[in-house]
């Protein structure tokens, strides 16, 4: 979750139109941000994660609202997953959690830190940390049960570029339109991006120049260059990664829609990687397959759940 929050924070804090304020927002510990199948998520939970992710960084009210909304989306996903696993996966043996805590303490000691310091920094309790571990263990066990040899082989074949560590250097132009934006706004943004694509394809402008002029991303300063990515290097934007690896160097994508907005892509370089073998990377394959299961499961659960968002 923190990676997603930090990525959004980088975008917000890089915007010249948003000047940070040092005035903290009053706490709202008892306010309910959302209800997920009758279980509540509080504003206090959101703000604890926000404070841990961006310690001592002043932000505006508008930035805080956007970051809170992003954190809430992740907390809803986490809540849906834990509810599902509570009903469909075996409970975790407390001894397994004790063993994980012992290992975790040893890791912290090697970094000259304590569990108490870690919990204070991350704004959580030991009970919350153990609950998070329990969900991770349940998900891993659930995935192992689902991951037949045939499914793993098919998944490996479909994602061979990732396991071969193939990389592409990706540039993009993004027009940011939220997933809850009116259809007319998304349609207008799509039409604008299609017009930009036509200018690039017809040689009236370069991709880099168009990115600098139109893209709503810090990468616009570098002509839209995002650097090298791996096939599953953009977990929040799978359609972007999938389209990027389908492109030949120098080609331009069609307009791609994600929850974050509309994208136009080009690949400027490709590194072939090294041929892998399933038998030698089966652990990595299982880990990636587990994350795929999580993504698809949460998507399905969202379509079935009763979710009421009341975030102020």
Q: What is the pLDDT of residues 165-177, one digit of tens each?
A: 999 999 999 999 8
Task: Report the alpha-carbon distance of residue 218 to residue 213 in Å, rounded.
Answer: 12
Mean pLDDT of 144-155: 93
Output the CA–CA distances (angstroms, integers) from residue 200 to 97, 209, 279, in the order listed. Answer: 55, 9, 44
* ∠ Cα 57 54 120 (to 5°): 115
Mean pLDDT of 93-97: 94
Mean pLDDT of 111-135: 93
Q: Both ends of the chain: CA-CA distance in Å?
A: 21
pLDDT for position 30: 59
* pLDDT band, residue 236 (cuts 50/70/90): low
Q: Is the pLDDT of residue 23 over 50?
A: no
Task: Report the alpha-carbon distance of residue 176 to residue 217 in Å, rounded.
Answer: 9
- Fold exhibited by the domain 165-271: Chitinase A; domain 3 (3.10.50)
pLDDT for position 22: 42
Mean pLDDT of 34-61: 88
- Classify 7 as helix, strand or coil: helix
pLDDT for position 25: 45
Mean pLDDT of 224-235: 85
Return the higher-pLDDT residue of 92 and 59.
92
Token match 């571990």: residue? 133
Q: Say if CB 246 and CB 266 are below 8 A apart.
A: no
Cβ within 8 Å of residue 176, ≥6 positions away: 216, 217, 260, 261
Query: Using CB atoms within 10 A of its CB, is residue 166 exposed (0-12), middle (13-18) or buried (19+)?
Result: middle
* pLDDT band, residue 235 (cuts 50/70/90): low
Q: Where are the alpha helices (DSSP H) in 54-182?
A: 61-88, 94-110, 115-122, 126-146, 149-158, 160-163
- Classify 308 as helix, strand or coil: strand
Mean pLDDT of 128-145: 94
What pTM does this model have?
0.73
Q: Is the pLDDT of residue 29 over 50?
A: no
* pLDDT band, residue 178 (cuts 50/70/90): confident
Q: Is the pLDDT of residue 11 over 90?
A: no
Q: Say if CB 172 and CB 226 are below 8 A apart.
A: yes
């Amino acid at each position: 979750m923190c990676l997603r929050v930090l990525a959004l924070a980088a975008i917000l804090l890089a915007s010249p139109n948003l000047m940070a304020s040092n005035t903290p927002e009053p706490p709202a510990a008892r306010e309910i941000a959302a209800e997920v199948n009758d279980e509540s998520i509080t504003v206090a939970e959101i703000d604890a994660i926000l404070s841990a992710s961006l310690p001592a960084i002043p932000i505006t009210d508008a930035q805080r609202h956007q970051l809170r909304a992003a954190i809430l989306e992740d907390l809803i996903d986490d809540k849906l997953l834990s509810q599902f696993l509570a009903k469909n996966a075996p409970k975790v043996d407390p001894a397994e959690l004790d063993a994980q805590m012992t290992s975790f303490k040893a890791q912290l000691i090697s970094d000259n830190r304590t569990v108490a310091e870690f919990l204070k920094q991350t704004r959580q309790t030991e009970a919350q940390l153990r609950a998070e571990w329990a969900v991770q263990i349940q998900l891993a066990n659930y995935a192992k049960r689902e991951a037949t040899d045939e499914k793993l082989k098919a998944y490996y074949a479909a994602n061979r570029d990732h396991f071969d560590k193939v990389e592409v250097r990706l540039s993009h132009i993004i027009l940011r339109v939220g997933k809850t934006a009116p259809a007319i706004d998304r349609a207008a943004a799509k039409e604008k991006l299609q017009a930009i694509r036509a200018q690039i394809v017809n040689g009236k402008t370069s991709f880099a120049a168009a990115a600098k002029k139109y893209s709503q991303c810090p990468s616009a300063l570098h002509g839209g260059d995002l650097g090298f990515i791996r096939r599953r290097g953009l977990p929040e934007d799978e359609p972007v990664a999938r389209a990027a690896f389908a492109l030949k160097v120098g080609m331009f994508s069609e307009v791609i829609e994600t929850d974050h907005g509309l994208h136009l892509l080009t690949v400027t370089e490709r590194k072939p990687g090294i041929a892998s073998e399933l038998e030698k990377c089966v652990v990595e394959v299982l880990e990636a397959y587990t994350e795929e299961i999580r993504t698809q499961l949460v998507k399905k659960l969202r379509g079935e759940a009763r979710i009421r968002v009341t975030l102020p």
